[in-house]
Chains A and B, each alone.
Chain A
Amino acid sequence: MESLEQNYIDGVMGSKELLLYDKIGDAIINPPNAADWEKKALTGVVKPDLIAQLKVSPDMFSDALLMVGTSFLPPFPPLQVESIISQQPYTLIDAINLLRTSEKSVTNTCSAFRDILDKQDPKWLDKYRKAKMLVKHCVTVEVSGRIIVREFESLTSDNIEYLGLQLPAELYHYLSKAMIGPRLMNSFVSLQSIVFPTLDGVVSDEYKHLVTRDLVELKEEAAALIASRIHRGYQFKDINMKFWFDDSLNTGLTHRNMHVKVNQVTDAWLVQDTDLKAQEKAVGAPSGKISFAALTLQNKDFAASTISKEKSEKPEKREKAAPLNTKPEILSNALWRLFHLRKFTNDQHELTSWGKALATTLKVIAPEIQKHGDVHHLEEAAFLAFELIRFNILNSANRHTELIGGPLRGSDSDKSNCLLIGRTSCLLKLRHGNIGYTGPLSKNFLSFHTLIKAVRETDRDLLEAITASMFLNHQANRLSRDGKVRNDFGDLGRRYVLSLRYFNTFANTIPTAFHS
Chain B
Amino acid sequence: MHIPDGFLNTETLILTDVISFASLYLSVKKVNKNIKPERIPLMGISAAFVFVVQLLSFPVVGGTSVHLLGAVLISILLGPFSGLIIIASSLILQAILFQHGGILTLGANILNMGIIGCFLGFLIYKILRNTPIGVFIACIFSAVLAAIFCAIELGLSGKVPLKLAVVSMGGTHIIIGGIEGIATLFILSIIKKVRPDLLELEKI
Q: Answer yes or no: do A and B interact.
A: no
